[in-house]
Amino acid sequence: MLKTVRHLADGREIIYFDESGTATPRQARDTRDLPPVAASSEIRRDPLTGEWVGMAAHRQTRTYKPPADLCPLCPSAPGRPSEIPESDYDVAVFENRFPSFALDVPGESSTVDGAGIVPVAPGRGRCEVVCFTSDHNRSFAQLGEGRVRTVVDAWADRTAQLSTLAGVEQVFPFENRGEEIGVTLHHPHGQIYAYPFVTPRTERMIDTARSYRADTGRHVLGDVLAAERRGGSRVVAEGEHWTAFVPPAARWPVQVQVVPHRQVPDLPALTSEERDDFAAVYLEVLRRCDALYDRPLPYVAGWYQAPVNRGREECWLHLELFSVLRSADKLKYLAGSESGMAVWINDATPEQIAQRLRSAG
């Protein structure tokens, strides 16, 4: 794989990951006249829960559902420059023009109204867009195993690089797919958030894993994985190095965890064989998901990685995919119990979800 780092007209970085052994470094220049990116993000900590909340009012003007012929993620063409200056590409990653977090956000840490109750700080971090293919009409599920492997290598590369940035505490690669999820750009792509804090979900998982290890001497996800492989009723797909299963306490109408058979903290720690095997297992999961209702399934799929500076020994890398679609034409809405108290009510059992996915294949 050949990696080429270039810059867009406003100074943002764009990185190409090319598969061909005969590929040459990318040279195309961004000809657009772009103003500098002006992010004004901040983070505030909820005094009642201790959780950080991001504020990014400048994102109100971001691109929203453009027509296909004006897609900013397609390759550039004569008279139609895009975010990607090349006329074609394999995998491309670039800094988001409308980032939730950015490295050059001005300001200092303080408290809201100077009252000393609610901490506030600049939302310093980085947000990147990952384009999986130059083909506007494809999806991740339609990629070949070789391309998925390139995407995994790109995720790993960006995780390693972003983890070295000052102030970054956690790196989260993810994909949002489908309008029901809230996607506003239909070109197959994902994002990477480099957060200036450890996310609440990760904090909770670290605390749970630490407590479980203190009680048993083992890792909780390792025991869950062993039980799922042994029982099999919730397993959806399995390879030499990965198993995909519906979690035994699934919250969503479609939910799958894809877990490596050995504990590693993050994507850079995966071996070449593990990366190849993930591609095969994950594509099987996605194809079953799309066959479930005989339509493209809207979903969120994200990587749970160890934070940069702490809790790494308690983390076990895994990917989780979930969907809000509970039938071919019905959505699961987060109503009072879920939205108000974070107490989830699922309309199907995990065993039923797994059986439907296995049958859909």
CATH of the domain at 295: 3.30.428.10
What is the average pLDDT across 52-81?
84
- Residue 221 and residue 149 share a domain: no
pLDDT at 189: 97
Confidence of residue 353 (pLDDT cuts 50, 70, 90): very high
Percent of the chain with pLDDT over 90: 91
- Residue 192 and residue 76 share a domain: yes
What is the average pLDDT across 304-330?
97
Better-predicted residue by pLDDT, 70 or 234: 234
Residues 267, 126: Cα–Cα separation, whole Å: 18
- Residue 261 and residue 159 share a domain: no
Tell me: pLDDT of 268 over 90.
Answer: yes
225-253 pLDDT, tens digit per residue, is: 999 999 999 999 999 999 999 999 999 99
Tell me: pLDDT of 326 over 80.
Answer: yes
Residue where a domain terminates, one of 140, 172, 198? 198
Confidence of residue 330 (pLDDT cuts 50, 70, 90): very high
C-alpha dist (Å) from residue 244 to 95, 193, 276: 31, 24, 15
- Residue 172 and residue 219 share a domain: no
Helix (H, G, I), strand (E, B) or coil at 227: helix
Tell me: pLDDT of 30 over 80.
Answer: yes
Confidence of residue 64 (pLDDT cuts 50, 70, 90): low
Residues 115, 37: Cα–Cα separation, whole Å: 31
What is the average pLDDT across 284-298?
96
What is the average pLDDT across 269-281?
98
The answer to whether 100 and 127 are in contact (CB under 8 A) is yes
User: 261 among the known binding-site residues?
Assistant: no
- Residue 265 and residue 174 share a domain: no
The answer to whether 15 and 151 are in contact (CB under 8 A) is no
pLDDT at 313: 97
Residue where a domain terminates, one of 133, 168, 198? 198
Model-level pTM?
Answer: 0.96
User: 71 among the known binding-site residues?
Assistant: yes
pLDDT at 280: 98
Which residue among the candidates 186, 189, 241, 318 is catalytic per the annotation? 189
- Residue 38 and residue 148 share a domain: yes
The answer to whether 286 and 237 are in contact (CB under 8 A) is no
189 is catalytic: yes
- Residue 189 and residue 220 share a domain: no
User: 187 among the known binding-site residues?
Assistant: yes
Q: What mean pLDDT value characterizes the chain?
A: 95
Confidence of residue 63 (pLDDT cuts 50, 70, 90): low
Residues 109, 327: Cα–Cα separation, whole Å: 46
Residue where a domain terminates, one of 179, 198, 217? 198
Torsions phi, psi of 286, nearest 5?
A: -65, -40
Neighbours of 16 (CB within 10 A): 23
- The domain of 228 spans 201-360
Tell me: pLDDT of 202 over 70.
Answer: yes
- Residue 245 and residue 147 share a domain: no
- Count of domains for the chain: 2
